A and B are shown apart, each in its own frame.
Chain A
């Protein structure tokens, strides 16, 4: 039956302000990989990650050899540039917070900058296709949306690659940015990256992170607010199969008054050695009066042998807030549930499908992008077909 993990009970670290800035990470944030010690696996921010499967991204032995093709398709009015390391727009959203993110920042040669001019409302999404061709790559991407502009960006990751890449979202005052990042890699890929959003005054950021593929995927979606009135909605959906490690480590830094955040991540796991990790850190600093935040993580374990680590963590330094809450629960699809559904005439594979569809349906509807909804449902069905049989 559904087992509720009491809020915060599985955490053994809390966020502190001052030095070090973040007790969960092994070193202060920095652009330089040399500022981070090579992790050995016992650090709070690495203890869930199988380092031996990172293919050297964490210890400096990974060597870039290209192997990733990036294609950007953008509607008229959008500027797409490839820039050098010294471009002033890079690194503005925030510093890398772990060694692999810093490695990516220290190693990329060219960055891609997608800009939506102020007050431009796109009617078509910007599509960024990242296709792995078997190699190792470091990358950096900036998506900048000007004041009062509105854009949807869909980033698709496919193929096989070993990738460490960071993405920055710069959201201008009053702008609206929706980003969908789909990790639909082959089951051999390794993908580590930090996605940092800097949310402007009264701006709205909606992130949808969808992870189906990869041997190992470890992402850091992070939100910081540049001015009051910002709003961030972070949705995530993962389907972790046999042998996959999928890790989402969220951090929302409420350092500005009157901002809102809402997080909902849901994952299903199937097969032995499937491992999902969800870390949800929310920090409400003393200055962030009027904050309203909620985060939720739900997991559905479909078969024996799968493992979930779900760690919500809320640190509040001011009482002058609108609301703050979190919830985490992991439920198991049991033989008794299967029996119950089958005893009503429903075949076993359909019973499993029914449960998983139902589990994700609410979240998929919340995302509010009809085209994506259909694709997600289809993909979930395909995942089920592939692993049930």
Chain B
């Protein structure tokens, strides 16, 4: 039973005039099988949390701990974190010239699983996963994210989620920029992974819209670099009604 424990996490970025603290003491525990929605206004530090957990070099952890089943995640390199079971579906997936989607997926699966997947079953596995996400088969031969539309990039992220089956999935604004049809397809993908009960999901979003498709067990409001309030799904309903105003007042990090 994988558990991600974030304790008193402080993170800074380099800015003009010295380091600027973005995360100011985040406490959160995500267990396998659970879905946590993290909601908050722009600039509250949601994405910083996502990227810090994945180990992006832009962010400096200045305090606190992150462990996955007791293992120190912060001591791991980016690729070690991924192999330990942390997956980040990015808000802005990166184009990688010269690397085809099929080559990328296979290399990634080989790294994560510790051995190369058997070719015959692998081809079938990828093909079926792509079909479920309505991804055209020609994408396999295209360069990673190159010339993909916003929706195609997001579907490609969820394709990886389905194939890599992480212990902890962090979805950073996966819903942003999607029309309703794409949102439904992407959400169905996330739900298939969740139904396995094997993944703990951290769903980071600005809007409540995606929560109609992906039902969270816990909702956290993120403001000024920390969790301002936690509750059940009803908290999302309140945010839908009232917005973030209450949390922004006097709490903005700027």
Contact = CB atoms under 8 A, between A and B. Distances in A.
A59 B41 CA distance: 68
B152 to A, nearest CB: 16
A334 B97 CA distance: 10
A342 B57 CA distance: 12
A355 B79 contact: no
B83 A345 contact: yes
A342 B82 contact: yes
Nearest to A356: B98
A344 B97 contact: no
A344 B94 contact: no
Nearest to B163: A344
A343 B97 contact: no
B99 A354 contact: yes
B56 A300 contact: no
B35 interface: no
Given A339-B56, A354-B103, A358-B103, A347 B79 contact: yes
B104 interface: yes
A358 B100 contact: yes
Contacts of B82: 342-346
A336 B99 contact: no
B103, B143, B144: most-surrounded residue (chain A CB, <10 A): B144
Interface residues of B, number: 31
Contacts of A339: 54, 56-57, 78, 94
Nearest to A346: B111
A340 B94 contact: yes
Interface of A, secondary structure class, is helix
B117 interface: no
B107 A346 contact: yes
Interface in B115-172: 143-144, 160, 164
Contacts, number: 86
A343 B98 contact: no
A1 B111 contact: no
B29 interface: no
A348 interface: yes
A75 B226 CA distance: 76
A382 to B, nearest CB: 18
A98 B77 CA distance: 52
B102 to A, nearest CB: 11
Given A337-B94, A354-B104, A354-B107, A343 B78 contact: yes
Given A344-B104, A346-B111, A300 B97 contact: yes
Contact of A337 (B95, B103, B111): B95
A12 interface: no
B90 interface: yes
Contacts of B160: 344
Contacts of A348: 77, 79
Contacts of B93: 340
B96 interface: yes
A346 B100 CA distance: 15
A350 interface: yes
A354 B88 CA distance: 20
B112 interface: yes
Contacts of B95: 1-2, 337
Given A347-B111, A354-B107, A342 B79 contact: yes
Which of A337, A344, A346 is the most central at the interface, judged by chain B CB atoms within 10 Å of its CB?
Answer: A344
Contacts of B104: 341, 344, 354
A342 B93 CA distance: 13
B97 A345 contact: no
Nearest to B108: A344
Interface of A: 1-2, 300, 331, 333-337, 339-348, 350, 354-361
Interface of B: 54-57, 77-79, 81-83, 87-88, 90, 93-100, 103-104, 107-108, 111-112, 143-144, 160, 164
10 closest pairs, A vs B, by CB?
A: A359-B98, A345-B111, A358-B98, A345-B82, A342-B78, A344-B108, A340-B94, A345-B112, A342-B79, A358-B99
13 contacts: A2-B97, A335-B57, A343-B82, A343-B88, A345-B79, A345-B83, A345-B108, A345-B164, A354-B104, A354-B107, A355-B97, A357-B98, A358-B100
